[in-house]
Amino acid sequence: MVIITFCGKTKRIDESISLVNLYSFVRNLFGLQGVGFEIYHEKEPVTQIHLDNNAALRVVADATTLSMLEKNSYDLEEMKWHFVKEQFTQVRDEMQSLQNQNHNLTSQNRRLEEMILNERNERQSMYQDQNSTTQDADLQLTMKIEQIQETSKYYFDEIQKNLK
C-alpha cells in the first residue's frame, strides 16, 4: 500500500504499482492531465524501492503548474462571484415581478370590491323601490277592498231597510 498526497488531498493505492505506471496513475488519480509534477519520498525523488516498501509519497507540481492552478483558482472565484451576482439579479427581478403582480392583483381586488358594493347598493335600491311599489299596491288594494266593503255594507243596509 502506498499513500500519496497532493495539495492537501491524500489518496491510498492498495495495489502494487510499478514506477513506470505510477506517474500516469497519479495523473489520473488527481486529475493532473497536462500538468508537470514530480513524486517524492521525503526529499528525494521516488524510486521503485519506495514503492516496494509502502512509503508515503508526495506529489509536487512544478512552478508553471502552480501558477496555472492559482490562475484557475482565481478564475473559479471570479466565475463563482459572477454566478452569485447573476443569481441575485435573477432573484431581484423575480421579486420585482412578484411585487408587480401583487400590486395588479390588489388593484383588481379593489375594483371588484367596488363593483360588488355598487351592485349591492343597486340591488338594495331596487328592492326598496320594489318594496315601496308593492306596499303602494297593497295599500291601494286595501283601500279598494275597504271601499267595496263600505259600498257592500251600504247596499246591504239599504236592502235590509227595504225589507222591513
DSSP string, the chain: -EEEEETTEEEEE-S---HHHHHHHHHHHHT-TT--EEEEETTEE--HHHHHTT-EEEEEE-HHHHHHHHHHHHHHHHHHHHHHHHHHHHHHHHHHHHHHHHHHHHHHHHHHHHHHHHHHHHHHHHHHHHHHHHHHHHHHHHHHHHHHHHHHHHHHHHHHHHH-
pLDDT of 98 above 90:
yes
**Of the residues 41, 61, 81, which one is the last residue of a structural domain?**
61
Q: Is 40 part of a structural domain of the chain?
A: yes
Least confident of 37-46, 83-92, 148-157: 37-46
* One domain, residues 48 and 67: no
Residues 95 and 50 in one domain: no
CA 38 – CA 26 distance, rounded (Å)? 10
**52 — pLDDT class (breaks 50, 70, 90):** low
Instruction: Note whether residue 153 is domain-resident.
Output: no
Q: Name the amino acid, one letter, at 133.
A: T
Q: Is the pLDDT of residue 126 over 70?
A: yes
How far apart CA 36 and CA 59 sit, in angstroms, is 10
More confident residue, 100 or 50: 100
Q: Are residues 55 and 77 in the same domain?
A: no
Tell me what pLDDT residue 117 has. Answer: 94
Q: What is the pLDDT of residue 93?
A: 93
| Residue 8 domain boundaries | 2-61
Confidence of residue 159 (pLDDT cuts 50, 70, 90): confident
C-alpha cell, 85: 451576482
Which of the pair, 1 or 92, is modelled with greater confidence?
92
Averaged pLDDT, 25-34: 79
How big is the chain by its Cα radius of gyration, in Å? 51
**Mean pLDDT, residues 150-155:** 88
Q: Considering the domain boundaries, does residue 9 fall inside one?
A: yes
Pick the closest to residue 46 from 18, 7, 16 (CA basis).
18
Are residues 70 and 52 part of one domain? no
Residues 8 and 30 in one domain: yes
Contact 44, 56 (CB under 8 A): no
User: Residue 2, Cβ neighbours under 10 Å: how many?
Assistant: 23
53, pLDDT greater than 80: no
Q: What's the structural domain count of the chain?
A: 2
- Judgement on whether residues 77 and 33 belong to the same structural domain of the protein: no
**Which whole number is the average pLDDT over 98-121?**
95
51 — pLDDT class (breaks 50, 70, 90): low
pLDDT range class, residue 11, cuts 50, 70, 90 = confident
- Are 68 and 116 members of one domain? yes
